[in-house]
Each structure stands twice: as C-alpha cells, then as structure tokens.
Chain A
Amino acid sequence: DAGVIQSPRHEVTEMGQEVTLRCKPISGHDYLFWYRQTMMRGLELLIYFNNNVPIDDSGMPEDRFSAKMPNASFSTLKIQPSEPRDSAVYFCASSLGVGAGGEQGLAFFGQGTRLTVV
C-alpha cells in the first residue's frame, strides 16, 4: 500500500478564496483524521471519521472549515473563505481503530499539505 496520500503538497491562495485539501487513506482503515500543525499547539485534531461518518468535529476552528468523507477511500477538508491565519501544514491520517494496545490506535500520516494564504 502506498500509505496515506494527500494532495496538493503545497497550496498558495489569496485571502477569501476557497481551498480544498484532499486525502486518500490506507485501504482497510476505518478511521480518518484531519490534523493541523502549528507552532503554538503542535498537532491539533480538527475532525475525525469512523466508517465515513464524522465522529468528533469539536476541533474545527470555525464554520469556514468543513470536511467530508463521501466514501472509504476519499476525504476533503475545505476552507471557505480562507484567511491568512489558516496558513499551516494540514495532515491527514488513518488507522484501524482508536482503541488502546497493539496496533489499535496507531495512526499513519500522509506527507501533509502546506497551505499559505496571502
């Protein structure tokens, strides 16, 4: 398996524009996570899905952020409208489960999308 695949790797956009980040999880993984990396808060969980259903979106900063998972092999994170403070690296990760012990809860990350909003 190629691992978690994110696109694009880099995105530069103007303030006010819509941005869509894409993620393909590892086949067979039933959990998908979106994280944002910032200097102050480290890896901040935005939202996660289980079997394509959003479970916890309490980390989504504002209504400008939305995420979907239309099927088991694809998810999007959308920011509309984008603002300069949204500039960060966004990671997608997938796992077999979120329990404790062994391979459970072990999340595999994509390479991230570096977003710059000017």
Chain B
Amino acid sequence: DQQVKQNSPSLSVQEGRISILNCDYTNSMFDYFLWYKKYPAEGPTFLISISSIKDKNEDGRFTVFLNKSAKHLSLHIVPSQPGDSAVYFCAAIQGAQKLVFGQGTRLTINP
C-alpha cells in the first residue's frame, strides 16, 4: 500500500525553464512533508520541507506547494540548472511516526 506516490518516473526539462515535480498522498494524517534529492551512487539529501499548516515554502530556486484538500504537493525549480539533474523523492511524516517515501522521479535538465 503506497501512501506516498510519485506517478511520473521521469521528467525532462530544458535548462532555464521551470521543473515541476508532483507527489500525491493518501493519508490525511500526514503533517509534514519533505523533498529529498539523490545523485547516483550517493545517499538522498534533504532539499526542502513544508508543514501541513502552510501551503507554500520557498528556498531560493526551490518552492514546495501543498494542497491539502487534494492531498497533493509539488516541487518547483526555477530556473532549472544542469546540476539539478537527479532523482527527487517526496516523503511524508505523521506525528512521531516514520518517514514514508514515494517512488522517486528522475529529473533530467537538458542544456
């Protein structure tokens, strides 16, 4: 039972354009969401997070949007750069419980 879903296994974007990665969840009790970024042969690293009491959090080129009614969050990267090419994982936490991840989306930024 996949509680956090990333339905796009891959995404290709032109350098300088906006990259939008999507994530859906089924558990309405999740109260904190995170995005992790993973390069080949490395472990995932934290990128940005958002609390369920907010609908937007911005950090430089990265913005995460949360739509609780739709149980949907998205990560926007603008402008996209070649170094952003990686696998992006969406994750969710419910209270004091475990961190649940999605399947990941491979983002490729084309020069």
Contacts and interface: CB of A to CB of B under 8 A. Distances in A.
Please determine whether chains A and B interact with each other in the same assembly: yes
Contacts of A42: 6, 89, 101-104
A35 B101 contact: yes
Interface residues of B, number: 28
B99 A105 contact: yes
A98 B43 contact: no
Contact of B97 (A44, A98, A110): A98
Interface centre among B32, B43, B52, B104 (most CB of A within 10 A): B43
B8 interface: no
Contacts of A98: 93, 96-99
Interface size class of A (residues with CB under 8 A): 20 to 34
Interface of A: 4, 33, 35, 39-45, 48, 56, 91, 93, 95, 97-101, 105-112
B78 interface: no
Contact of B43 (A99, A105, A112): A112
Contacts of B74: none
B43 A91 contact: yes
B56 to A, nearest CB: 16
A111 B6 CA distance: 23
B51 A100 contact: yes
Interface string B84-100: 00000101010111111
A105 B34 contact: yes
